[in-house]
Structure 1
Amino acid sequence: MSVLLAIVFLSLNVGKSGGAIKPVVTFTPNWGNILYDDSVTLTCDVPSTVPEEPRTYHWYKDKRPIPGDQQRRFIFMPSVEDRGDYQCQTIGGDISDPVFLNVTYNHVLLQRPPSAIYEGDPLTLRCHHQRLYDEINTKFYKDDQEIKPSESDSTFHIPNITRSQSGRYKCTKQLQLHYDESNVVELSDESFISVKEIKRRKLVVKTKDFHSRHSGRAQ
């Protein structure tokens, strides 16, 4: 009987932690940093039991409304001035948490996911370059140690990242101009990857107090 009461007690506490469900902004491609001439699609994902329910959407950049016709998907080719926090909202609904889009003017860019990285997550990094160039060779480094030499693959993948794999990641690319094969340059970019700990919520039940309150019911 005491086990059943413990299950009920746990269910009541979990129920109290519930709240309104916020929409979530996602990027396609799923990178938090892009080059100024890349195209990106921002999607406002709203959890619902009725997927076909019609909605009106509003988009915000740095907490200011984005003018124009608002749809679930917001597609554009950003400039450096479009760097900032993006949020979405439906009529009568909660506003999403901000998601930062970093737009840079670079020839080579080490791309990373837009969201925080937690232990156990898969992590993919991409060594990206401007369309003006052809790629010859790509290499990846962690804390100045080469981790993946490559002739053609511009991505580095970790299936289950650990906190010990936090550090400074860098990629280098040998590139040549489309119209000038003799002009080869090596460029690089780097980013610090911080892997966060998953905080597991623990339910502490004081056995003595629990049994003293419910000993009469367990008869």
Structure 2
Amino acid sequence: DNLKFYIFPSKPTVTLQPSWTQIYSGETVTVRCEIQGGEGAQWTYEWKPAKLNTPPTSNEYRITVTESDSGGYSCRGRRDYFFTEWSDIITLTVSFSNRPVVTLYPNWSEIYRGETITVRCEIHGGDTEWDYEWETNSRIKAPNQNEYRIRSASSSNSGNYRCKGRMKSSQHKTTEWSDSVTLTVSDNKPRPVLTVSPSWLSPGASVTLNCEVEHPSAGWSFYWYKAVPDLSEKSSSYELLPDGSGTAQDSYIIHGQTHTAGYVCRAGRGDPEYHTDHSQPKFVWSADVHSATSLTVSPDRVQHFTSDSVSLTCEGNFTEWRVRKFSEDGRLYSDCRRMTGSTCNINTSKSDTAVYWCESGSGEFSSAVNITVQNDGNGPILVSPVHPVTEGASVSLSCSLRTQKILSNVFFYHNDKLIQNDPRGELKISAVSKSDEGFYKCQYSGRESAQSWMSVKVSLIIILLLLLYRCRRTNSEKFSFTYYKLFIIQRHKCIMMFI
């Protein structure tokens, strides 16, 4: 009467809690073996794979998973000497860590006040499965969303940001904290640095502008401007150069520039686009005296002694003028302290060593001149012309002391090479050629002057002959020269227009 009969159930089933088969390293899952129809019996359990070292009497166990726990799981029940079938295999996939990753978009190492940037928390598995929590030491707290869009950044947003996720379907399940990402917001608006090459124009040369910004790889585009003098504001306005808006390259080439001109650049990036300040203006200078305006220097020489009285006079058919000065230390001066009409009067000092030019109220630039002030009160100066010398003309260079204007036994150097040593005190060149162009200096009683550049320009006669030659050979072309433009029209008729 005490005999009990057991009906052996069907094969067991392996279940997972939580029920998803893909989980992340570090999460906890419960594996359970369920025997339907075998309730009331005292079962012990066996598991595959055996590497788990599961206690044989346990129908469930909890695993804090690593990637090595990936694989198929199966179980069977045992009572005395009777066994159930092995269950079907259920596969558990353990992925890489579900630690979130904080990203900055755009991914710039430093951003500037007013820029727009997004701080984003990315968790493998899809944004819809998670609620988000942020931790930051910035003065402004981030909202509990997967991304934080900062529309106008300031230094208050600077700080370290990290996040973690909480499963929406199981609020007690959270990810680890992400690694921290540092957001640095500078309150200084960046100002690019413009460089111009060459600084002095030569016939036919192109001018290359380069605009340098901090963090140059960080998505900048570039804007290029020509500076237009504004005497009423004692400043300049800026006009975009052709195709100079939002270029991808940080350089810009100007072809056919013949006159003194100033340029600036700025940069922009992002959406909406953020713009830097304009760069300081940089200039390319022309010594061409055939422009609509001109600058004359009295006394007419490049080098001067300290405390000399020097007059700079602007000439042309304009009523308003200003003399501009670009000093050796890179500073730009917009006004003459002693301007009388169109003449600027200077009592020279070492700081007056600079490039000078005139700007009219109508926006025209004059030719530019170099002025060098001798710092050695007992040393000589080279007396050389301020403006370029025309090819074929005669020129005389001399050496002078403050106390003695005419010297003998003077050494003259051309590009640092000794070219004359005799009792005379002058270097005379009866017919200047292009080969005479270069740096000159003089030496007297063991003391050297500063060196100054003497420029040689092509003769107008040669230019006219060249134009006529071109005119005879060409039917419909346009040429640009240093002093003239030649327009060739039908039937070889030539019209030359003074620039």
TM-score (norm 2): 0.30
1:72 to 2:332 alignment:
no
- Report deviation, 1:144: 2.5
Partner Cα separation in structure 2 for residue 64 and residue 79 of structure 1: 15
Q: Give runs of aligned pairs for residues 35-184 of structure 1, distance below 5 A.
A: 35-46=305-316, 48=317, 55-62=319-326, 63-68=332-337, 70=339, 71-106=341-376, 107-131=379-403, 137-141=408-412, 143-150=417-424, 154-165=425-436, 169-174=440-445
Distance 1:69 1:163 in 2: 37
CA contact (8 A) 1:162 1:195 kept: no
Mapped partners of 2:457, 2:384: distance in 1: 18
Shift of 1:64: 2.9
One-letter amino acid of the structure 2 residue matched with residue 37 of structure 1: S
Residues in 1 aligned to 2:299 and 2:321: alpha-carbon distance in whole angstroms: 21
Question: Stretches of 4+ moved more than 6 A in 1?
Answer: 133-136
Tell me how far 1:81 sits from its aligned partner.
Answer: 0.6
**Alpha-carbon distance between aligned partners in 2 of 1:69 and 1:206, rounded to the nearest angstrom:** 53
1:127/1:138 contact within 8 Å kept: no
Deviation at 1:44, TM superposition (A): 0.9
The residue number in structure 1 matching 2:448 is: 188
User: Kindly tell me: are residues 147 and 98 of structure 1, through their superposed partners in 2, closer, same or farther at Cα, counting changes over 3 Å?
Assistant: same
- The change in CA–CA distance for 1:164 and 1:206 in structure 2 (over 3 A counts) is closer
SS in 2 for 1:204: helix
Secondary structure of 1:144's aligned partner: strand
Q: Identify the match of residue 472 of structure 2 among 195, 205, 209.
A: 205
**Which amino acid counterpart does residue 204 of structure 1 have in structure 2?**
C
What's the CA shift for 1:127? Answer: 0.3
Report the structure, 1 or 2, having the larger helix content. 1
Distance in structure 1 (CA, Å) of the matches to 2:456 and 2:419: 22
- Cα contact 2:304–2:374 (8 A) shared by 1: yes
Q: CA RMSD in A?
A: 3.6
| Percent identity for Structure 1 against Structure 2 | 19
Structure of greater Rg:
2
Q: Do the aligned partners of residues 149 and 87 (structure 1) sit closer, same or farther apart at CA in structure 2, a change above 3 Å counting?
A: same
- Counterpart residue type for residue 335 of structure 2: I
Within 2, Cα distance between the matches of 1:111 and 1:128? Answer: 7
**Cα distance, 1:130–1:78 mapped onto 2, change above 3 Å:** same
Gaps of 5+ in 2: 1-258, 260-289, 327-331, 477-489, 492-499
Counterparts of 1:9-20 in structure 2 under 5 Å?
none
Range with greater deviation from structure 2 (72-81 or 192-201): 192-201
Note the C-alpha offset of 1:172: 3.3
**CA distance in 1 between partners of 2:447 and 2:291 (Å):** 43
CA 1:32 to 1:60, structure 2 compared with 1: closer, same or farther past 3 Å?
same
Deviation at 1:146, TM superposition (A): 3.0
Instruction: Please list every run of 5 or more consecutive structure 1 residues that lacks an aligned counterpart in the other structure.
Output: 1-18, 49-53, 175-185, 215-219
1:25, CA displacement in angstroms?
0.8
One-letter amino acid of the structure 2 residue matched with residue 157 of structure 1: K
